[in-house]
C-alpha cells in the first residue's frame, strides 16, 4: 500500500476528504447540541455524570475535527458539506428532542448518534486509506476510537438507568442484581458475536 502526504493528493481526492471531514464536524456539532440539552435534564446524579462525560468527549472530538477541517481546507460554505450537514442533522435530530419518557431513551438516542459518528469516521478512514492519505487515516482512526469507547460506555450504563427508571415508576424489581446481570449478558453477547 502506498501512502502520500495531503499535498501530493490530486484535487479530487483532496475535495472528497475535505467533504467527509466537513460532514463529521457538522454531525459532531449536532450531537454536542443535543448533549447540551441533556445536561439540564432531570435530577438523576448518575445520568448527569454520564452525560457530562459524553458531552465533554464529543465537544473535544468536535474541536479536534474543526482543527483538522482547517488543515484539509474544508469550509462551511461548501455546498456538498452544507447538504451533508443537513442530512446528518436530520438523522441526528432524533437526539435533539427533550423526551418526557425517560433518561434511558436519551441514552438510547446518544448510542444511536455515537454509532453514526463511528461509521462516519470509519468511512473517512477507509476513504483516506484508499486514497493514500495517511494523515487523515490517523485522524479518522482516533475519531473512531473515541466513538467506539462511547458506544461501549452506554452499554455499561444503560441497564442501571433502565432499572432505576422502572423503580421510580413504581415497578417491583424481582432481582436486585438485574442491572449487573444484564451488563454481563450484554458483554457476553457482544463478545460472542465479534468477528
Helix locations, the chain, DSSP H: 11-39, 45-72, 79-92, 103-131, 134-168, 178-192
Q: Can you give the pTM of this predicted structure?
A: 0.84
Q: What is the pLDDT of residue 9?
A: 87
User: Residue 43: pLDDT band by 50, 70, 90 thresholds?
Assistant: confident
pLDDT tens digits for 153-162? 999 999 999 9
Domains contained in the chain, number:
1
Range of the domain at 17: 10-153
How far apart are the C-alpha atoms of 191 and 183, rounded to whole Å?
12
How far apart are the C-alpha atoms of 168 and 162, rounded to whole Å?
10
pLDDT over 70 (residue 83): no
Whether residue 163 is contained in a domain is answered as no
How far apart are the C-alpha atoms of 37 and 65, rounded to whole Å?
22
Whether residue 90 is contained in a domain is answered as yes
Whether residue 3 is contained in a domain is answered as no
Whether residue 29 is contained in a domain is answered as yes
Interval 111-136 mean pLDDT: 96
State the CB neighbour count (10 A cutoff) for residue 10.
10
Q: Which residues pair with 133 in a beta bridge?
A: 4
pLDDT over 60 (residue 13): yes
Q: What is the pLDDT of residue 130?
A: 95
CA distances from 88 to 11, 27, 61, 78 (A): 25, 6, 17, 15
Whether residue 187 is contained in a domain is answered as no
Whether residue 35 is contained in a domain is answered as yes
Angle at 123 between CA 147 and CA 138, to 5 degrees: 70
Interval 89-102 mean pLDDT: 51
Whether residue 167 is contained in a domain is answered as no
How far is C-alpha 120 from the chain's CA centre? 9
194: left (phi over 0), alpha (psi -120 to 50) or beta: beta
State the CB neighbour count (10 A cutoff) for residue 78.
17
pLDDT over 80 (residue 106): yes
pLDDT over 80 (residue 21): yes
Average pLDDT of the chain?
A: 85
Q: Which residues pair with 4 in a beta bridge?
A: 133
Whether residue 186 is contained in a domain is answered as no
**Which CATH number does the domain housing residue 25 bear?**
1.20.1260.10
Amino acid at each position: 500500500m502506498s501512502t502520500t502526504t495531503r499535498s501530493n493528493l490530486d484535487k479530487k481526492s483532496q475535495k472528497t476528504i475535505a467533504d467527509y471531514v466537513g460532514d463529521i464536524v457538522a454531525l459532531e456539532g449536532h450531537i454536542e447540541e443535543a448533549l447540551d440539552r441533556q445536561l439540564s435534564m432531570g435530577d438523576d446524579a448518575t445520568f448527569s455524570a454520564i452525560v457530562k462525560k459524553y458531552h465533554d468527549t464529543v465537544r473535544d472530538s468536535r474541536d479536534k475535527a474543526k482543527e483538522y477541517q482547517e488543515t484539509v481546507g474544508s469550509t462551511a460554505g461548501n455546498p456538498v458539506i452544507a447538504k451533508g450537514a443537513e442530512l446528518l442533522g436530520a438523522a441526528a435530530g432524533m437526539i435533539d428532542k427533550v423526551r418526557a419518557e425517560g433518561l434511558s431513551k436519551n441514552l438510547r438516542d446518544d448510542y444511536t448518534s455515537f454509532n453514526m459518528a463511528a461509521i462516519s469516521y470509519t468511512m473517512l478512514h477507509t476513504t483516506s486509506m484508499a486514497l493514500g492519505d495517511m494523515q487523515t487515516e490517523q485522524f479518522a482512526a482516533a475519531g473512531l476510537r473515541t466513538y467506539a469507547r462511547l458506544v461501549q460506555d452506554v452499554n455499561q450504563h444503560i441497564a442501571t438507568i433502565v432499572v432505576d427508571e422502572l423503580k421510580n415508576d413504581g415497578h417491583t424489581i424481582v432481582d436486585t442484581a438485574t442491572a449487573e446481570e444484564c451488563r454481563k449478558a450484554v458483554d457476553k453477547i457482544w463478545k460472542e458475536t465479534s468477528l
